[in-house]
Amino acid sequence: MINKLTEKIQKTGAPIVVGLDPMLDYVPKQIQKASFAEYGETLAGAADAIWRFNKEIIDATYDLIPAVKPQVAMYEQFGIEGLKAFQKTVDYCHGKDLIVIGDVKRGDIGSTSAAYATGHLGKVLVGSQICSAFNEDFITVNPYLGTDGIKPFVKVCQEEKKGLFILVKTSNPSSGEFQNRLIEGKPLYEHVAEKVAAWGEECMGDSYSYIGAVVGATYPEIGKVLRQVMPKSFILVPGYGAQGGKGKDLVHYFNEDGLGAIVNSSRGIIAAYKQETYARFGAEHFADASRQAVLDMIADIRGALEGKE
C-alpha cells in the first residue's frame, strides 16, 4: 500500500490528505434538515447527515488527492450509527480509489492489540468465512506501550501489505510535557523515531517503509531532524492550516525525491465554506469551497517545495 500511496502522490502532484473529521456543526443546515426529516433528531439522523456531508466533499475532491483520513472519534460520538457512517465513508472512498488512513490512535498489548489490528487492517475468521471489518489501508497507532504494543500491528501489515503511522511528535501545544523530555541526552520523540525506523525495516516497499510516523507541522525544526532519523518512513503531518502550519514550514519533512511526507488538513478543507476566504461559496456550495481549499493547499505546498529546489 505504501507503493500505491507514493504512486498516487506522484500522479496527482498533491502530497496531501483530507481529514474527514465532521462535527455536526460543520454540516450545513440543508443537509441536517434532510437527514432529520428522514430519521428524526436522533443519532441515526446525525450519522446520516455526516455521511451525506462526507459524500459531497469526496465527490468534489477525489480527483485531486491521493488519500483521506477519517478520524474515528468524530463518528463514535454518534454510537453505532456513527460507526456505520464511518464504514460507509471508508467503503465509498475505496470506490473512488482513494487511500484511507484511519485515524484511530490505537495502542495496547497482546491479544487486544492484535484485535485492533485485525478490526481496522486485517481479516477475521467467522465460522468458515474470512471477513474484513473497517478495512482501512493505514491507521494511526500510539507507541506508548512499546514494542509489545506495535508488533501485532506490524504483523498484520506484513500479511496485508498495509501500513501504520506511529505517533512520534504531535502538533498539540502540550505534547512537549512528555515527548520533549530528555532521555540520555535526546528528547523522547527522537527515541521513538529511532524505533519507528527500526520497525520499518521489517516492512519495506519499493522505496519507503509501510511503517510511517506522525510529526506535527507546528514544529518545523523538529521535523527537519526527524526526517534524517527516519529516512525511509513516510511522515504524516497534521497541523496544516487551522493549527497554523504553512507550506513553507513543511519543506524539510520531504526527502530530496519530493516524497516522504503527506500533509493533513481537516476542518480547513471540510469546513472551508465557514472561512472568510471561501465565504463566497456559501453553505449551498460547501463542497465547491472544499475543492477550492484543496487546490489552494496544493499550490501552497507545491510552491514551497519548488522554492526549496
Q: Detail the DSSP E strand segments found in 54-169.
A: 67-68, 99-106, 123-126, 129-132, 138-141, 163-169
Helix (H) or strand (E) holding 77: none
* 163 phi/psi in degrees, rounded to 5: -145, 170
Match 487511500 to its residue by C-alpha cell: 99
* 65 phi/psi in degrees, rounded to 5: -125, 160
Mean pLDDT within 142-170: 95
Mean pLDDT within 42-71: 98
Q: What is the pLDDT of residue 243?
A: 55
In the structure grid, which three cell numbers stand for residue 227, read together?
A: 526526517
Match 501500513 to its residue by C-alpha cell: 163
Is the pLDDT higher at 249 or at 15? Answer: 15
Confidence of residue 244 (pLDDT cuts 50, 70, 90): low
The residue among 233, 97, 81, 220 whose CA lies nearest residue 164 is: 233
* Cα-based distances in Å from 23 to 10, 32, 45, 188, 239: 31, 12, 13, 33, 17
Among this protein's residues, is 105 annotated catalytic? yes
* 212 phi/psi in degrees, rounded to 5: -110, -170
Q: 285: exposed, middle or buried (C-beta count within 10 Å: 0-12, 13-18, 19+)?
A: middle
Would you say how long the chain is, in residues? 309
Q: To 5 degrees, how large is the angle CA 2–CA 206–CA 161?
A: 40
In the structure grid, which three cell numbers stand for residue 294, read together?
A: 484543496
Q: What is the pLDDT of residue 258?
A: 86
Mean pLDDT for all residues in the chain:
93
Is the pLDDT higher at 176 or at 68? Answer: 68
Confidence of residue 172 (pLDDT cuts 50, 70, 90): confident
- Count of domains in the chain? 1
Q: 87: exposed, middle or buried (C-beta count within 10 Å: 0-12, 13-18, 19+)?
A: middle
* Cα-based distances in Å from 273 to 46, 58, 106, 197, 243: 20, 15, 32, 39, 17
Confidence of residue 30 (pLDDT cuts 50, 70, 90): very high
Mean pLDDT within 184-194: 96
Domain holding 15: CATH number?
A: 3.20.20.70
Q: Detail the DSSP E strand segments found in the chain.
A: 16-18, 67-68, 99-106, 123-126, 129-132, 138-141, 163-169, 182-183, 186-187, 211-215, 235-237, 261-265
CA distance 70 to 103: 6
**Catalytic residue, candidates 55, 105, 155, 161:** 105
Mean pLDDT within 6-24: 94
pTM of the entire predicted model: 0.94
Match 478495512 to its residue by C-alpha cell: 135
The residue among 71, 69, 76 whose CA lies nearest residue 43 is: 76
Q: Residue 40 above 60 pLDDT?
A: yes
Q: Residue 308 above 70 pLDDT?
A: no
**Domain containing residue 227:** 2-308
Q: What is the pLDDT of residue 242?
A: 60
- Residues 274-290 have pLDDT tens digits of 999 999 999 999 999 99
In the structure grid, which three cell numbers stand for residue 213, read together?
A: 510516523
* Distance, first Cα to last Cα, the chain: 28
193, 229 Cβ separation under 8 angstroms: yes
Mean pLDDT within 99-119: 95
Q: Which amino acid is at 74?
A: M
